[in-house]
Amino acid sequence: MSRKIIFACVLMILAFGVLPAMADPGRGANVLCYVWANEGSRAIGSPYTPSTPYSYNAVGRSAANTITRTAVGVYVVTCKGVGGGPLFSGSGSWGAGGHVQVTSYGSEDADYCKVVSWGTGGADFFANVRCFNHAGGLSDNRFDLLFVW
């Protein structure tokens, strides 16, 4: 009796094509950009290139990353060439998407930073970041940001 059950199970698997090895393995995560925003109190509107040993860009190494402080506790991170647009080197067009993580860094007054929005539909990736103090007010701070696809 047990041989008939085993035979029936194998026949069902073959008939429906449900084999674990046939599952979509997915694309996996590709690190496209990370930065250490090491100048939390940079002059407003003055973009800078983050610390080179702690910055990475899949297309142009670290020089392609910039951070601009636009107001107290408000920053824009730009990573050139790693957006989802057609100019991303070697991959064609990925479209919009990805995943972004940000964490406050250091001993300044900020308790946390968060990504307010990001965009990947063009040639470049950008993220709008805000940092807050323990009372919930905007506060200048250093932070780490990671963008993966």
The confidence score (pLDDT) of residue 111 equals 82
Look at residue 134 and tell me if it is in a domain. Answer: yes
The confidence score (pLDDT) of residue 69 equals 96
Question: For 44-81, how does the pLDDT look when each residue is reduced to its tens digit (9 = 90+)?
Answer: 999 999 988 899 998 876 568 999 999 999 999 999 98
Look at residue 23 and tell me if it is in a domain. Answer: no
Look at residue 15 and tell me if it is in a domain. Answer: no
Look at residue 47 and tell me if it is in a domain. Answer: yes
Look at residue 5 and tell me if it is in a domain. Answer: no
The confidence score (pLDDT) of residue 127 equals 95
Q: Which of 75, 129, 128, 139 is nearest to 106 (CA)?
A: 139
Question: For 90-107, how does the pLDDT look when each residue is reduced to its tens digit (9 = 90+)?
Answer: 445 555 678 899 999 876
Pairing of strands 31-37, 56-57: antiparallel
Look at residue 19 and tell me if it is in a domain. Answer: no
Q: Which of 66, 63, 5 is nearest to 37 (CA)?
A: 66
| Higher local confidence (pLDDT), 65 or 30 | 65
Q: Which of 66, 34, 64, 61 is nearest to 50 (CA)?
A: 66
Domain range spanning residue 131? 28-148
The number of domains in the chain is: 1
